[in-house]
Structure 1
Amino acid sequence: MPPSEPDRRSAVVMAATQGLGRACAHALAEAGHRLTVCGRDPARLDEAVRELSAHGTAVAGERADVSQAEQVERLVAGAVERFGRLDVLVVNAGGPPPGDFGDVGPEQWDAAYRLTLRSAVTAIGAALPAMRAGGFGRIVVIGSSSVRRPLGGLVLSNVFRPALAGLVKSLAVDLAAEGITVNMVSPGRIDTERVRALDARTAERTGGTAAQVRAASERSIPAGRYGRPEELAAAVRFLASEEAGYLTGQSLLVDGGLVPTLP
């Protein structure tokens, strides 16, 4: 018998109007979670809420820019007020802009910090009181394969994504005894708008085509292809489950074997 409405898990998925965030929201909706999702574009947000509601669960959309701390705090507080609980937090944000060290200045560093690292710190801090009150919590941070190996032309990601991995490791130790797990899921080349845009940028710099860049990239991946967003979302869904209660402090690569590093 499915749980009654007040007993159903409640989840917040940040930046859920496209790409990996949207796929994660679908996976949690399919698992029966009541959802609060956010995005900056109102049209995309409305579309995402309609799609997610088709799974038969309650879904609320909040317009929010996750780089703005007060908007993140409002997002989480609204979820707790709406559903009376918060069990799952998926920390997600659009990737910082590409560029090498010489391409980015102080403003870009500050913006990347607010988008990538501070948004996670703010969201987790806002979510913890409700999770502690319920004696249960699943925090899943969407990272990047750059936590294991730096990526060319993405210095901002190379700096702030590993910082997120450090946050995950620290919090996992601090929160394990309270029934709250903290993990990271780190994608490699997943077929999203961002990866397609990065391929197009590489093509422009090298004089090739985006299709040529993608083909070369796929040849470097042992699985021979880009991943699908729903494949990463399946890992998030498991980490958000009760069954994953003894798994914490981990950074799980979802990359088709692209980064063959030891832990």
Structure 2
Amino acid sequence: MDMGLKGKTALVLGASRGLGAAIAKGLAAEGVKVYAAARTVSAIQGWASELPPSAGEVIAIELDVSKVDAIDTLIDRLLGEEGVDILVNNTGGPPPCDAIEATRDQWLSNFEAMAANVFHLTGRLLPAMQKRQWGRVISITSSGVEQPIPRLALSNGIRSAVVGWSKTLAAEVAKDGITVNIIMPGRIHTTRVDELDANAAKRSGKSVEDVAAGSAAAIPTGRYGRPDEFADVAVFLASERASYVTGSKIRVDGGATRSV
């Protein structure tokens, strides 16, 4: 299927590893020029060097999403090149903690990096999309926005705010040919999930292998997802084929979320 993405330009945040890297690779494979942003540029350059010659250009950019000045510098650069067609908002997760122990400073600093700065970045890039009457905004959250995950209070709360913003924005820009969607990963096998499993193992006294096996057993598919499986959904939402999908939350979790 022709996804209609050749010649498009994308900005993917958190593209050094995990879900962000997988999405950036998937878009590049479709002929998209990808600005891949993260704090660790060398990691981006590493996976980009392994792409086939037919892939779109990948431009590695050093970016810390917690720093609004750095975000504005990147936006100015992109707007000088007529902006991007596709924006993938993907931020790292906050440290695990219970709601009762989360401090005000933790809420503020993580909200700025995971939500406020994302809203700012998107708002500045939208006018160029509106001018072209075509755009895609995809934000990666978590299955915790539908079924809160124990010990991930900061993530559950802040990512839920991103969902509310995304749904509101979708209605505002639909007339401009711009779609705005959320993808909610479940247990996708990334370094972040390995870190969460290690944290759970330390608290429970179990081995990491036992924790992972227990988590996988609770998923109807009986396994963790692969990053490329998740990325395929993002690539579809970015494509011309998904032009009538907007304001949606899409789960990629192997059926783990039990709510209707």
TM-score clears 0.5: yes
RMSD of aligned residue pairs (Cα, Å): 1.6
Q: Which amino acid aligns with 2:30?
A: A
Q: Which amino acid aligns with 1:182?
A: V
Equivalent position to 1:169, from 167, 170, 173? 167
1:22 alignment partner in structure 2: 21
1:71 alignment partner in structure 2: 70
What CA deviation, in whole Å up to 9, does each residue of 1:211-239 have, x standing for no partner?
00000001100010000011110000000
Cα 1:201–1:131 change in 2 (3 A) is same
| Matching of residues 30-45 of structure 1 within 5 Å | 30-45=29-44
Structure 1 stretch displaced more, 203-212 or 61-70? 61-70
Query: Do 2:83 and 2:125's aligned partners in 1 also have CA atoms closer than 8 Å?
Result: no
1:235 alignment partner in structure 2: 233
The offset of 1:55, in angstroms, is: 4.7
Cα 1:244–1:199 change in 2 (3 A) is same
Instruction: Quote the Cα distance in structure 1 between the aligned partners of 2:147 and 2:171.
Output: 24
| Matching of residues 170-249 of structure 1 within 5 Å | 170-249=168-247
The offset of 1:68, in angstroms, is: 1.5
Instruction: Quote the Cα distance in structure 2 between the aligned partners of 1:59 and 1:32.
Output: 10
Q: Which amino acid aligns with 2:66?
A: S
2:143 alignment partner in structure 1: 145
Q: Which amino acid aligns with 2:183?
A: V
Query: Do 1:67 and 1:114's aligned partners in 2 also have CA atoms closer than 8 Å?
Result: yes
The offset of 1:253, in angstroms, is: 0.5
Query: Do 1:91 and 1:123's aligned partners in 2 also have CA atoms closer than 8 Å?
Result: no
2:155 alignment partner in structure 1: 157
Structure 2 runs not aligned, ≥5 long: none
Structure 1 runs not aligned, ≥5 long: none
Query: Do 2:30 and 2:55's aligned partners in 1 also have CA atoms closer than 8 Å?
Result: no
Percent of aligned positions with the same letter in both sequences? Answer: 38
Cα 1:64–1:141 change in 2 (3 A) is same
